[in-house]
Structure 1
């Protein structure tokens, strides 16, 4: 029986292109299978129970910049340190913008308006003042001279969209004494925009349709602009821990975002991925017998726009990025009506974004083979940029991962294949208060938690073979901009 089990495990590895089967009764299972079998559902759920408790103790969320996120960081780092990992928590700044209300009126008539990101607000009573339009030219509102011979002080200024950034337009208007800036968009659609950051924003700024300009600048028009908004800047952290063994020239990086949305505890999104890579790290230990170093990452600020992973990758030198052989991303792997989706590294689905960087197709094959061996037939999911693989792909780092679905609905064919409920969302609690411990699919979590461990250990042992990724020399040639 033991020999048969070992042969079955090795048979899976053959499918994945890693090792060969043997009939020797003295042969021990390869580490990949050992780690995968060691990642058990009870331990995975224990991590989720702790994250759920943290959320309950902190206003129901674990959002970046909130106490629940800081407590989540402490939980993960403490667990890692207990296993001998050296842990760093690099900080980065997050700019947030909260638009509470906006309105623009001419007399009793409402005018459609779209406040720009990071715009300062008006006072609570709103801004009631005269309105003037800057003459239209090839660079509207982009030069201080555009305001020559205009009495701008205290006025709401209108400029056409075009050429220079919105931030530059509002800065010039502010320097000339304008009280607010409206950017007129051509056509019926009122476009939004952003000023980029709180530090750049000087005066209330919003978009309007060009068709509303005549009414706003008409002599004697009673115009009122009201913007109630807050822009804040705060500091938060990622978590980084790397094995002390394995080649640092071929780093296997695996990540999951640790933050939730402010509206819920984020137990599937993304306590599930965070717990899976944490348990993988704990089972491997800080000094595993591996060929390639493994770097574990828990990202902050993903829910605000992939901010933690983007900051991390952007701050690496070209040489440090070249040392990363591949990136594995695990975001939502225990949805209550679960799909079994692997990132479409080869673009075989021919939808959405193109294929991932060279090596992404191999990662997809490896994960598909693992799931197939578990009796699950996976489907592809597009590299649509909604999770932390985005910054890695931008730098041509091969990437892959598993995803069990969010707000999209399961088809009848998928329900028949996976046993879920057709015409229902994969996760009806996505980005909501119901994303709790009670709404986790344990079977999907168990399967995918083991898949996470197997994928990490597979590439920790070797990045070569039929499901391998480019060597250092090959990826240096492929990532021309990284030299």
Structure 2
């Protein structure tokens, strides 16, 4: 059943969509059926036109395109109309998710010293009551605070608990603090660096929770040992169940038992337009789909996905794969490889390829067979064009995570997020050493001015090349290269629970 916000969201998005100008241009090629023709057809100007449309949508929808908002709905409508104009049938796959938006958050020491304290509220934390929680700090007898018993003999009722990271999940610490009577809990790190924690899900019976550094935790404990310490914690947020969706489309022709799949997350963070992250990947595969629709015949079906709620934990792609595993595992087996594109226009960019062959980085996940061959499609293309590139860790940090966990080969492209550019990378790509790849990552400044056109051009051509190459043959990945037995268009293979848009 649709959430109560869905109708209003869709209506607002429809109105906003009217403000956008659909990207269009004369056909670059009548039948772009090889790499040279396809890379010529997928122009950076057309890709940038899609990004300008996403920016207009964000501007008309409270400045963002986050999952569960009218900005996301309008972004999806833009993608769907562009695809339908190119001859595709689009599908929506709906799913529920927890919408979480922090409106204000602060942690202040009231006494013995008045100061503001840097902290990061835990994901899925309960909000504080209106006005926040102002209370004395207290430490459990067991500093880890994993169970209510850890507070035995401690007067914690109505106070703010201070506990160490370690031994148990953050969600357990927040639940234990609540069970002991605490009004909130501060978790300090047990190693250097900021503590960006998650409670793992919504639990109404847990105390509002935030994280601080190991250094700050020690400062707080030292003050507590000298006398009472009072702090005020404010976590003002929306935390509710909403509905969103993935947008899916695929070519009419090609083997439906040897599908090449491309994906990019369509949602951004709720703190800006999300044009590089990830309007860029979304625009890159959208223009590739438009041009691929002009090809007369494909050996392999190509499926495109614009994922929802990636920024909230890869939820859309996880749902898609889980749905196939539960309802149509054969269709999951029919995916020859998955290509992921998350940020392809970073201003201080690298030209990164997911290191599926582990030639630079040992993967923290099991790498499915065929992934190294998928990576090679990109690296061979760059090598042939004398384009410098580097490996980027095959970490499962983006929407390919669920696919590789299910044994589907994967690779993809990445121009960098919050990593710091090295002098060696400056020699290859230009830019500034010691500065992160996208200084506007997950900020309101990730807007249309944030895009590096050179990076966008290089990566868009690489997407185009890989798509048409694998649409004609995946022999190097799985030994399959020929068309299906019938020359007729294969039936659409999509998960259960999808509606025609």
Quickly name the TM-score band, shorter chain normalised: 0.7 to 0.9
Distance 1:112 1:428 in 2: 23
8 Å Cα contact 1:140/1:162 also seen in 2? no
The partner residue of 2:239 within 232, 235, 260 is: 232
Cα deviation, residue 272, structure 1: 2.4
Distance 2:273 2:223 in 1: 47
Task: Report what 1:282 is aligned to.
Answer: 290
Cα deviation, residue 195, structure 1: 2.9
RMSD: 4.1
Task: Report what 1:259 is aligned to.
Answer: 267
Task: Report what 1:119 is aligned to.
Answer: 126
8 Å Cα contact 1:167/1:194 also seen in 2? yes
Distance 1:251 1:259 in 2: 24
2:38 is equivalent to residue 35 of structure 1: yes
Task: Report what 1:468 is aligned to.
Answer: 477
Cα deviation, residue 119, structure 1: 3.3
8 Å Cα contact 1:140/1:163 also seen in 2? no
Task: Report what 1:378 is aligned to.
Answer: 389
Cα deviation, residue 337, structure 1: 4.9
2:314 is equivalent to residue 310 of structure 1: no
**Cα distance change, pair 252–203 in 1 and its aligned pair in 2 (3 A):** same
Cα deviation, residue 407, structure 1: 5.0
Q: Secondary structure at the match of 1:468?
A: helix
The alignment's TM-score, normalised by the length of structure 1, stands at 0.74
2:76 is equivalent to residue 86 of structure 1: no
2:462 is equivalent to residue 451 of structure 1: yes
**Cα distance change, pair 238–286 in 1 and its aligned pair in 2 (3 A):** farther
Cα deviation, residue 151, structure 1: 7.5
8 Å Cα contact 2:145/2:176 also seen in 1? no
Cα deviation, residue 178, structure 1: 4.8
Task: Report what 1:19 is aligned to.
Answer: none
Q: Secondary structure at the match of 1:91?
A: strand
2:59 is equivalent to residue 56 of structure 1: yes
The partner residue of 1:195 within 188, 192, 199 is: 199
Deviations 1:260-289 (A, max 9, x none): 334443333322221221112122229962
**Cα distance change, pair 164–459 in 1 and its aligned pair in 2 (3 A):** same
Distance 2:356 2:84 in 1: 34
Deviations 1:351-400 (A, max 9, x none): 67578422121122211222233331322222244432233233332211
Distance 1:183 1:409 in 2: 27
Deviations 1:98-133 (A, max 9, x none): 26112455654879796544133144263446x776
Task: Report what 2:340 is aligned to.
Answer: 329
Distance 1:46 1:187 in 2: 45
The partner residue of 1:398 within 404, 409, 426 is: 409
The alignment's TM-score, normalised by the length of structure 2, stands at 0.72
The partner residue of 1:96 within 100, 111, 136 is: 100
Aligned positions, number: 438
8 Å Cα contact 2:354/2:392 also seen in 1? yes
> What are the equivalent positions in structure 2 for 1:121-160 lying under 5 Å apart?
121-124=128-131, 126-128=133-135, 136=142, 142=147, 154=158
Distance 1:237 1:253 in 2: 18
- For structure 2, the residue ranges without an aligned partner over 5 or more in a row are 1-30, 482-501
Question: Which structure has the larger Rg over C-alpha atoms?
Answer: 1
Task: Report what 1:272 is aligned to.
Answer: 280
Bigger mean CA offset, 80-89 vs 161-170: 161-170
- For structure 1, the residue ranges without an aligned partner over 5 or more in a row are 1-27, 473-483
